[in-house]
Amino acid sequence: MKLSNRLEVILSFIKPCEVLFDVGADHGLLSIEAARRNLAKEVYAIENAKGPYDRLVQNIAKSGLKERVRAIYGSGLEIDDDRKKSVVIAGLGTDKIVDIVKKAYYLDSLDYLIVDSHTNLKTLREEVTKFNFYILDECVLQEAKIYYEIILFAKGNKRYDELDMSYGPINLKKRSDIFLKKLQERVDEIDHILVKIGDEDNKKSNALIEEKERILNIL
């Protein structure tokens, strides 16, 4: 099965586990491939939109993995399974991801959490780490001109500063080409905004200049 680079990165972040929850499973490509690669003995493919859910059920039936991949229509929060597990939440915004994590009763049995978002990443890191998770790995990638950040959280505590939360502690260490490209594009965007607003909004200008200086210090 040919998967996107984004799904391949997510799969590479999954540690072999008893059970995997794929929240926002869409058509089930990740869920099915995780089972096929024996990354989990059992997979819950969770989708709350009717159209994608129907396609998910069809794809599981075609895969020959019905005994190991279970399609769940809904949020998945109601599933009663206290086995040690990993959870993937992909394709959702930060607010929705944080809301799911806050409501997830199974956090005590959760070893790893893999999230995929392209919005409000600082908030995402800040909120998830409040639930006794630390950042084990990160990857920045680009698809269809959109930057995505895949973050692997593991159980445990670490201290992070504001720079870590804003840009990712692992990203700052890895300094991948795509991560630096994303930062450079943000610098270019800030320069464009500063020219556009001129002297009209000093408060906004100062905030943008400070952000630009932080990024240039990273670059």
How far apart are alpha carbons 72 and 102 in whole angstroms?
A: 20
Indicate if the pLDDT at residue 195 is higher than 70: yes
**69-83 residue pLDDT tens:** 999 998 766 677 777
Angle between helices 94-103 and 121-129 (to 10 degrees): 10
Q: How far apart are CA 92 and CA 151, in angstroms?
A: 13
What is the side-by-side strand order in the sheet with 69-73? Answer: 69-73, 40-47, 17-23, 85-90, 110-117, 146-155, 133-143
What integer pLDDT is reported at residue 87 of this predicted model?
A: 92
Provide the residue count of the chain.
219
Q: Residues 88-98: what's their mean pLDDT?
A: 87
pLDDT computed for residue 201 by the predictor: 67
pLDDT of residue 106: 66
DSSP for 85-107, written as a single string: EEEEEES--HHHHHHHHHH-GGG
Q: Of the candidates 127, 95, 112, which has an alpha carbon nearest to the alpha carbon of residue 10?
A: 112
The DSSP call for residue 61 is H
Alpha carbon distance 219, 204 (integer Å)? 23
Using one digit for the tens of pLDDT, what is the confidence trace for 7-21? 999 999 999 999 999
pTM: 0.91
Q: Which two tokens stand for residue 61?
A: 């039936």
pLDDT digits (tens, 9 = 90+) for 137-190: 999 999 888 899 999 999 999 999 999 999 999 999 999 999 999 999 999 999
Closest CA to 24 of 151, 115, 110: 115
3-state percent breakdown (helix, strand, coil) of the chain, nearest 5: 50, 25, 25
Instruction: Give the per-residue pLDDT at 101.
Output: 83
Question: Has residue 45 got a pLDDT over 90?
Answer: yes
